[in-house]
Structure 1
Amino acid sequence: MTGYSMLLALSDSRLPTGGHVHSGGVEEAVTSGLVVDLATLAAFLRRRIRTTALVAASIAAAVHRGTLESAAGGTGDAETDARTPAPAARQASRAQGRGLVRLARRVWPSSDWGALGATPHLAVALGAVGAAGALDPEHTALSVVYTTMTGSATAAQRLLALDPGDVAALTFELAPLCEQTAAEAAAGLADLSDPLLDVLAQRHLDRERPLFAS
């Protein structure tokens, strides 16, 4: 499989890693009245790209290069925890990381996936997968940014009954921002968090009968 084919596969919403049950905070944003239509969804996605996606992509690229360790309890995990203040967001990250490693074991059975531990952070797992799949670190970063955006966009489409064509057009509109953010992430570790997204993640955990896990 070529690098571009691998990038497309990692960005495919059908990838069975459990990401479809996570909204990236958009469910709580909808419930709180922060995201009510396409315009407010666009603002939410831009914010998520420039914060959560930037940080996760920078960690994934660093793990891919070997700058951060992918092993359980290593620098990759530690740096991700330090940049993920909300316990609920950490939990969601590790749940998706576990799902990705489960798939990676089948695709690259000769790699030592056990070293990542049972529940690696998603960004750490994606960095290891990017290296195993012979992607460029820049492509690994782009896959993280893109799927961070599309996961929330698809969830909002379902929650608000938005026109799928409108949501698809929005993701095309945000593509240059995704590429810019991925390039920035590949250049070095990002040190930031978003208090609003952290609050939404934590508040979602306390809700009764949510549609999404996060």
Structure 2
Amino acid sequence: MGGAGWGPGAGPAAGVAALLLLADGRFPAGGHAHSGGAEAAVQAGRVRDAAGMAAFLTGRLHAVGLTSAALAAAAALDPGRADAWDEAAEARTPSAAQRGVSRKLGRQLLRAARAAWPHPLLDGLRERHPGGAHQPVVLGVTAYAAGLTARDAAAVAVYESVNGPATACVRLLGLDPYQVTAHLARLAPAMDAVAAEAVAAAGRGELPSASAPLLDIYAERHNSWKVRLFAS
């Protein structure tokens, strides 16, 4: 992966603080308004309690989490090929509703990223994709601009794939937030493993395409609702 002369280690060095800032749910990237399919899963009766949430998060981690993390890692390793990674993200997102959400979140993340870590690569991404590039791709380029590694980018993507839906389940089902947080803590080793798998795949140039058909169906159904708590 040597497109446009960009490669790992080419950006400025960053510390843990930048990683924490990017992963913080209060970072103004719009993720808090989305349930990651949890709202539709609850409405469908597939997630009813903490055990159902745990199964939902595990499945999401190994599907959406793995694919998003690999795309983010690829974009962090070789941000000069961001358009190619964006095409790869498009091909791996069969639901039109999910493609729209991903690009909207990418646009919001890019706005915040350009304010926090100004970089020509981020400016170029905005110019070429005024409607928004896919969120994992923007995340990877943002990580590069912030001086983070591909492993950092993958870790954030994996964390986002489960933390947002878990938080949504607290609101949707009235779950005990301590119990939900405990489950996320127990899921941490699996998150680390998925992030490592994603980075390895990106390094080989073999991006995974893990599918979750129910999430695609839920996204289309949710998009048609007149009343909903979350945007997706």
Superposition deviation, residue 136 in structure 1? 1.3
> Who is 1:57 aligned against?
69
> Who is 2:10 aligned against?
none
**Structure 1: stretches of 5+ with no match in the other structure:** none
**Aligned counterparts of 1:99 and 1:62: Cα–Cα separation in 2:** 20
**Aligned counterparts of 2:88 and 2:200: Cα–Cα separation in 1:** 16
Does the CA contact (< 8 Å) of 2:98 and 2:216 recur in 1?
A: yes
SS in structure 1 at match of 2:70 = helix
**Aligned counterparts of 2:198 and 2:165: Cα–Cα separation in 1:** 20
**Structure 2: stretches of 5+ with no match in the other structure:** 1-12, 202-206
Post-superposition Cα deviations, 1:128-156, rounded to whole Å, max 9, x if no partner, equal 01101111111110010001110000011
Aligned length: 211
> Who is 1:11 aligned against?
23
Q: How does 1:6-45 map to 2 (within 5 A)?
A: 6-45=18-57
Does the CA contact (< 8 Å) of 1:62 and 1:68 recur in 2?
A: no
> Who is 1:181 aligned against?
194
Does the CA contact (< 8 Å) of 1:25 and 1:197 recur in 2?
A: yes
Superposition deviation, residue 103 in structure 1? 0.6
Are positions 1:98 and 2:107 aligned together?
A: yes
Q: 1:195 aligns with which of 185, 199, 213?
A: 213
**Aligned counterparts of 2:75 and 2:198: Cα–Cα separation in 1:** 12
> Who is 2:143 aligned against?
130
**TM, length-normalised to structure 2:** 0.88
Does the CA contact (< 8 Å) of 1:3 and 1:136 recur in 2?
A: no
Rg: which structure is higher? Answer: 2
Does the CA contact (< 8 Å) of 1:55 and 1:192 recur in 2?
A: yes
> Who is 2:154 aligned against?
141
Does the CA contact (< 8 Å) of 1:3 and 1:133 recur in 2?
A: no
Post-superposition Cα deviations, 1:175-209, rounded to whole Å, max 9, x if no partner, equal 11110000000011112211111111111101121
Distance 1:78 1:68, change over 3 A: farther
> Who is 2:84 aligned against?
75
RMSD: 1.4
**Aligned counterparts of 1:68 and 1:180: Cα–Cα separation in 2:** 27
SS in structure 2 at match of 1:13 = coil
The amino acid of 1:162's aligned partner reads: L
Q: 2:98 aligns with which of 89, 111, 136?
A: 89
SS in structure 1 at match of 2:175 = coil
Post-superposition Cα deviations, 1:92-134, rounded to whole Å, max 9, x if no partner, equal 1111111110011111224342321220110010010110111
SS in structure 1 at match of 2:120 = coil
Does the CA contact (< 8 Å) of 1:34 and 1:40 recur in 2?
A: yes
Superposition deviation, residue 16 in structure 1? 0.7
Q: 1:167 aligns with which of 167, 180, 190?
A: 180
SS in structure 2 at match of 1:102 = helix
Are positions 1:212 and 2:230 aligned together?
A: yes
Structure 1 residue runs of 4 or more that deviate by more than 4 Å after TM superposition: none
**TM, length-normalised to structure 1:** 0.95
Q: 2:133 aligns with which of 109, 120, 123?
A: 120
**Aligned counterparts of 1:145 and 1:19: Cα–Cα separation in 2:** 13
The amino acid of 1:99's aligned partner reads: Q
